[in-house]
Structure 1
Amino acid sequence: MELKAESNSLLGVVVVCLSLWSVAAGVNLQVPYYRAYLAAAEFGEGAAATVFGAYILGLLPVLMFCGDSINRWGARATVRLSLLLSGVALIIIMLNQNLFWIYLVRVLEGAAFGLVISASAVYIGRYLNQAVASANLHGALVASGLGGGALLTSLGQMLVLSDPPLSYLLILALVAFCLLGSGSISTIEPGRKGGDSANASTLHHYLPVYSDGLWRYGLYQLIGWSLVGIMIAVVTGELERTGMEAWTGILVFLSVATGAFVQPICRGWHYQKNFKWGASVFAAGYFLLLYAVANQSLNMMLLSAALAGSAGLGFIYVGGVSVMMGVTEAIRPRALSGYFLLGYVGLGTPCIATGVLTDAIGLMQALVVYGACVVGLVLVAYFMSSRKSLGAQLDARF
């Protein structure tokens, strides 16, 4: 049965939005404490980066095989499962902070976020029934959630010293509230139009879609989010090494939440304009980061973090999600899953490699290697892009 826009109650959409924000906030909620958790075990930057990136072990399988969950299980069940996993992760980290449990928490957070991110995009998109507006709202929730969790923890450290941290309790309470309100989320399954049967059960119908050049937009997101991941997982270590650890939460917030602040600027822009601006801001953020690390400049580190967030979770994110929201409704959930799959590979994988390289050759040299890899990916995207692509179809829709 098809889910019409009017069948989504406003309350249900609000609960979905709050659920997305709370699960996103939980992902980076513990980042300011990671190095404190690992200090007793005497782990270096490589280990700290793997802790941050461990969530992809939970997220990638979900995006790969459950991207169409809103069609198979319905929005209510998908969001509830996401909230349950996020809540369990929060309870575990409040009770146990050894390395094994931290990794398990990251995996659970990744699975929770993977479930809610594409399902919420489809649900919000059907309610608003407008691709750009849906992308803007969804992007603002993701960006402010991912950045807001770390900021809440840092503010809590400054204002109220408690065990467990106050921010953990606040987000857990919000997760519980969303679970209680999840009954307002529509139970009607969207179904599929076009080539996919609503009863399709083969693996092919569950996997992400990269046809018609969609992979390129995911690759752009991979590159854009890679710098955000390095800021969160690696540059925060540089702050602690140089005695500026009090700014860790602020840097994480700027690395992510600034995307929400620039989205009103790019609202209504053509997706290609968003990508061009995103590429320019990304390059500025990267070179400014090199300068900041070389000169140990806190102000420049914070500014480079803000530029990274503006590019990855602002211009590039809105451009890419608006493209995915503009594809045929039959494949939209799987197109979104494919897009987020590549994006989160970018957020989690390069930061691990850069963290390991930082231990081996130093942060500055590791960042130069990272920059060379980014240039290589851009060249791959350029030379492999087919002239006969989705672009002409999308231009007619925007």
Structure 2
Amino acid sequence: MPNSLSTALLALALFTSTFAVNLQTPLYAAYAAESDVGATAVTVAFAAYAAGLMPTLLLLGGLSDRIGRRLPIATALLLGVLATALLVWIPNWGSLVVARALLGIGTGLVTTAGTAYMTEIMGEDNARRAALIVTSATTLGFGGGALATSISLGVQGSTLMPASFTLLFVLAPLLALLAFKLPTVDVSKRVSLLRLPVFPRGTWVFGIAMILAWSTSGMVIAVVPLELKNQGLDGWTGLVVFLAIFVGFLCQPIARRMSNTKSLAIGFVLTPLGFLVVVVGVWTGSLGLVLLGTCITSASNYGFTYLAALLEVTSRAPDNRARATAGLFVYAYAGFSLPVIASGALADLFGLLPAMTIFAIAQISITSLIIMLWMKQPSLQRAELA
């Protein structure tokens, strides 16, 4: 198979497996209503994704080094189908928890194997371009699923079996089969099946940045739609989730031309700024500000911060790219889940808007502290910002 076709097929597999992750987001309210649960339960279900993903990253981040890249990718695609089928069969909160956990396992498998595999297919000289393709495919996937379901619901009306689900049921099994036609350019290593993540030295600030960025993304995807529903604007949920991710995709080519440290610095500014605009938009009832703030956070979360962090950790661990990617996503999904659950609990106690405000204050405070610590690092690192 020609390299260009292999690259395209792998990118499509990465897109489709992550497409499944937020596919059900516009139906969260329906699943919650079916089980009569509140904001805390919804955010717990959302964060169950991390309950499946974190053990996968911590224990199986280097699995593809032992068994090859293709099987984990095919397995991730089929887990996406299984999770979505469960929600069609039993559309309630309990099923959402299980489905999100299955999707987390799939994401852990496909992101670690896919990142390493893309570089192996394209060659070491194209490592930076390979990372851009991986981040672009996964970013479009994470955002595209929610938008596809919102569009389906808009066309079909209220249904628990939108056309976007059908698309996944057709495409994912086909790609799982085609994954085994990809070239075996990777060399299996005689290593343990259970392999811990790698955290390359000197990359801690990129990891903390991912925690801050993706916790914001989690808030926008899980909590903001609940407030939109309260204001009768739940029809905009899919667009909000899509913008929360897609604008970051548009920024990735810009970030690619910058040094990783400069890109990270931009992310540190945009992440809290964007969420502050979202909070003001919710406070004033301005949908325009909510969408603007969502776009700003997206530019950081899935654009400048995501690409810079992925490039940094993989370049510092060229012999352990899968495990280094796993380490990065341990940071990312710790942020993606725990603050969201805490905010859901605060929302049930005080209301959604106060919970979002508390999150914004904490985010700005922590970001300021991390920037001060980072600027005390050796002068070489600071010089790269110039």
> What is the TM-score of this pair, normalised by structure 1?
0.89
Is residue 38 of structure 2 the alignment partner of residue 44 of structure 1? yes
Which residue number in structure 2 is paired with residue 183 of structure 1? 180
Residue 172 of structure 1, aligned match among 162, 169, 174:
169
1:169 to partner: Cα distance: 0.5
Is residue 114 of structure 2 the alignment partner of residue 120 of structure 1? yes
Residue 96 of structure 1, aligned match among 90, 97, 100:
90
- Using the TM superposition, name which of 378-387 and 298-307 deviates more: 378-387
CA distance in 1, matches of 2:376, 2:10: 37
CA distance in 1, matches of 2:114, 2:380: 24
Is residue 311 of structure 2 the alignment partner of residue 322 of structure 1? yes
Aligned residue for 1:201, secondary structure, equals: coil
Is residue 128 of structure 2 the alignment partner of residue 132 of structure 1? yes
- Using the TM superposition, name which of 348-357 and 379-388 deviates more: 379-388
**1:11-30 paired onto structure 2 within 5 Å:** 11-30=5-24
Which residue number in structure 2 is paired with residue 195 of structure 1? none
1:180 to partner: Cα distance: 2.3
8 Å contact from structure 2 (residues 66, 192) kept in 1:
no
CA distance in 1, matches of 2:315, 2:380: 11
Q: Which runs of 5+ in 1 are unaligned?
A: 1-6, 192-197
Is residue 81 of structure 2 the alignment partner of residue 65 of structure 1? no
8 Å contact from structure 2 (residues 143, 246) kept in 1:
yes
8 Å contact from structure 1 (residues 76, 186) kept in 2:
no
CA distance in 1, matches of 2:63, 2:371: 29
Structure 2 vs 1, CA of residues 281 and 387 (structure 1 numbering), >3 Å: closer, same or farther? Answer: closer
Aligned residue for 1:138, secondary structure, equals: helix
Residues matched between the structures, number: 380
Q: Which runs of 5+ in 2 are unaligned?
A: none
Name the amino acid aligned to 1:311: S
Is residue 190 of structure 2 the alignment partner of residue 199 of structure 1? yes
Name the amino acid aligned to 1:123: Y
Structure 2 vs 1, CA of residues 265 and 76 (structure 1 numbering), >3 Å: closer, same or farther? Answer: same
Residue 282 of structure 2, aligned match among 277, 280, 293:
293
**1:1-398 paired onto structure 2 within 5 Å:** 9-128=3-122, 129=124, 130-161=126-157, 164-191=161-188, 198-201=189-192, 206-378=195-367, 379=369, 382-383=372-373, 387=377
CA distance in 2, matches of 1:147, 1:357: 26
1:10 to partner: Cα distance: 3.4
Please tell me the root mean square deviation across aligned C-alpha atoms, in Å: 2.3
Structure 2 vs 1, CA of residues 262 and 384 (structure 1 numbering), >3 Å: closer, same or farther? Answer: closer
CA distance in 1, matches of 2:289, 2:151: 22
- Using the TM superposition, name which of 330-339 and 210-219 deviates more: 210-219
Identical-pair percentage: 30
> What is the TM-score of this pair, normalised by structure 2?
0.92
Name the amino acid aligned to 1:199: R
Name the amino acid aligned to 1:185: L
